[in-house]
A = this chain, B = another copy of it.
């Protein structure tokens, strides 16, 4: 089986803090599509993105999860989809350390009309799920300049 291709959103209009390769302040996340609706990203959180010393900020964890969960909805889609987070619930199970390799997972669970339900997790190298998340996303009309 072929290794999954790395997904980098390098479109010039992408300035996203999470996934743009052009945003000098950003996290520059890339993704691997493991199966339809299922992605992961390999990350190491920088010390400057901590909350308590040595522990990743809960909001930076939300950035990572939101990115992987959004990518789970849109990866593999033929047409460009405009989707936004509507509801996002995180459960912080164990501290997420900075400076160590982590995997961030996104998993599309269900679609209904314009809505999509997605699960996510930040997982350490032993496979322990440190933070888990659920979200509802909604497909919106394209912005006018893209329509």
Contact = CB atoms under 8 A, between A and B. Distances in A.
Interface of A: 13, 15-18, 23-26, 47-53, 57-67, 84-92, 95, 143
Given A17-B50, A84-B95, 18 more contacts: A15-B48, A15-B53, A16-B51, A17-B49, A17-B57, A18-B51, A18-B59, A23-B48, A25-B48, A59-B59, A59-B65, A59-B67, A62-B88, A63-B63, A88-B89, A88-B90, A89-B89, A89-B90
B91 A50 contact: no
Given A25-B25, A91-B86, A13 B53 contact: yes
A24 B48 CA distance: 8
A90 B90 CA distance: 9
Nearest to A64: B59
5 contacts: A16-B51, A17-B49, A18-B59, A25-B49, A63-B63
A57 B66 contact: yes
Closest 3 pairs (CB-CB, A-B): A59-B63, A62-B62, A59-B62
